[in-house]
């Protein structure tokens, strides 16, 4: 049995979320409302790492897709005390993305038994996509 299969034996899939973002539409939104939009939807750390190689707009669109996918997995949506910055996309040492939840989302994930996230994201000049799997023990 591979290490990955052994690893997955000890986790239960609690939820799955997927999101797709049209990169061109996202670029128009960012260009129109750059300062308001960016500070409202991304943490300072997310904005700093978006500048590390590659196309910044595509990278931000991909992070936005991750945030949307996480909220779909949690079943919450935006509003009602939940902000876009409550889902923070961070890079692991390997470079793979993962998420850190903040404020009310921490309690919501705890209530659902979520202890870990598997995150996959990709982007092109046309589209950004993300898939997240919420794991419980």
Domains and CATH numbers, the chain: 11-136 (3.90.470.20)
| CA pair distance 19, 22, nearest whole angstrom | 10
What global pTM score does this model have?
Answer: 0.86
Residue 42: closest CA among 87, 102, 82, 80: 87
Task: For residue 33, name the pLDDT band (cuts at 50, 70, 90).
Answer: low
pLDDT tens sequence across 14-25: 899 999 999 988
Task: For residue 127, name the pLDDT band (cuts at 50, 70, 90).
Answer: very high
Interacting residues of 4 by C-beta distance below 8 A, sequence separation 6+? none
Count of Cβ atoms closer than 10 Å to residue 132 Cβ:
28
Is 47 or 72 the better-scoring residue by pLDDT?
72
Which residue in the block uniquely carries the two structure tokens 């910044």? 56
Contact assessment for residue 117 and residue 106, using Cβ atoms and an 8 Å cutoff: no
Kindly report the average pLDDT of the chain as a whole number: 86
Interacting residues of 97 by C-beta distance below 8 A, sequence separation 6+? 63, 66, 89, 90, 91, 119, 120, 121
Q: Residue 74, SS3?
A: helix
């Amino acid at each position: 049995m591979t290490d990955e299969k052994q690893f997955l034996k000890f986790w239960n899939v609690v939820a799955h979320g997927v999101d797709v973002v049209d990169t061109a539409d996202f670029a128009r939104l960012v260009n129109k409302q750059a300062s308001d939009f960016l500070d409202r939807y991304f943490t300072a750390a997310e904005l700093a790492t978006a500048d590390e190689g590659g196309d910044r707009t595509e990278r931000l669109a991909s992070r936005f897709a991750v945030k949307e996918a996480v909220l779909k997995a949690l079943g919450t949506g935006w509003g009602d005390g939940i902000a876009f910055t409550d889902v923070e996309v961070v890079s692991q040492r390997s470079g793979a993305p993962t998420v850190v939840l903040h404020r009310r989302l921490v309690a919501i994930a705890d209530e659902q038994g979520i202890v870990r996230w598997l995150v996959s994201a990709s982007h092109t000049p046309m589209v950004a996509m993300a898939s997240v799997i919420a794991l419980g023990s």
